[in-house]
Amino acid sequence: MPQPPIWNDPRAMEPITDRPGLPRVLLIGDSISIGYTLFVREMLKDAANVHRIPENGGPTRNGVEKINQWLGAGEWRVIHFNFGLHDIRRLDGGQWQVSYSEYEGNLHRIVERLKKTGARLIFAATTPVPEGKLSPPRVPGDEVLFNEIAARVMKEQGVAWNDLHGHAKSHLAEWQVPANVHFHEAGSRALAEQVARAIRAVLTP
């Protein structure tokens, strides 16, 4: 049976059993984050219990609707999250799936809810959209516009910024699948290294 692509690996979404004494970390995001989840978990195995939401996080609308469910009743030391690639998906009429202004409002709503957990929050910039005919349709540069919105929201809200876009941009030929927003295993591992560094930096109270 062929192995699923790393960005759709069901193992990343399976629940984990916490190791006593280690802080709990939650990853929220789309298939890009699914791709780096297992690597982050391995990199932080002696420092944290790394959980993730049990699905593709999708657009911010989905986040607003499901954030309480995703957070559950447990305590979180760090929450690393991202929304963007699904928001900038182009619909049949050419418009974004989520408008510029709605994206901003949804991010504020999500962050306000995340703040109530008392966790340290880190937002990951949306990774690059490459040239080529993409399915579903996306336009290169749209992620930059939406990252600008996200950066403004996170600055206003006092949320740490993890620039995964800048981290990946100069390595797309090596890391990213051609004409695809997803990453090869090497790319997902490289993103995981950046994510693990960002989380480790704020793990101590």
pLDDT in tens, 176-192: 999 999 999 999 999 99
Residue 39 lies in a domain: yes
Residue 3 has pLDDT above 80, yes or no: no
> For the domain that residue 184 is a member of, what is the CATH number?
3.40.50.1110
Residue 184 lies in a domain: yes
The reply to whether 44 falls in a domain is: yes
Q: How many domains does the chain have?
A: 1
Residue 8 domain-assigned?
Answer: no
The angle formed by the CA atoms of residues 193, 195 and 198, to the nearest 5 degrees, is 110
Q: What percent of the chain has pLDDT over 90?
A: 91
User: Whole-structure pTM over 0.85, yes or no?
Assistant: yes
Residue 13's pLDDT is what?
93
Mean pLDDT of the residues in the chain:
95
Q: What is the mean pLDDT of residues 45-71?
A: 97
Structural domain boundaries, residue 74: 20-203
**Any domain includes 53:** yes
pLDDT given for residue 2 in this prediction = 61
15 is a domain residue: no
In the predicted model, is pLDDT for residue 151 greater than 60? Answer: yes
**Is residue 5, in this structure, part of any structural domain at all?**
no
Each as own residue / partner, the long-range contacts of residues 59-66 (CB below 8 Å, 24 or more positions apart, any chain) are 59/83, 59/86, 59/87, 59/89, 59/97, 59/98, 60/87, 60/98, 60/102, 60/103, 60/106, 60/107, 60/110, 61/98, 61/102, 61/106, 62/86, 63/28, 63/106, 63/110, 64/106, 64/109, 64/110
pLDDT in tens, 67-112: 999 999 889 999 999 999 999 999 999 999 999 999 999 999 999 9
pLDDT at residue 205, as a whole number: 63
Tell me whether residue 84 is in a domain: yes
Condensed to tens digits (0 to 9), the pLDDT of residues 13-52 reads 999 999 999 999 999 999 999 999 999 999 999 999 999 9
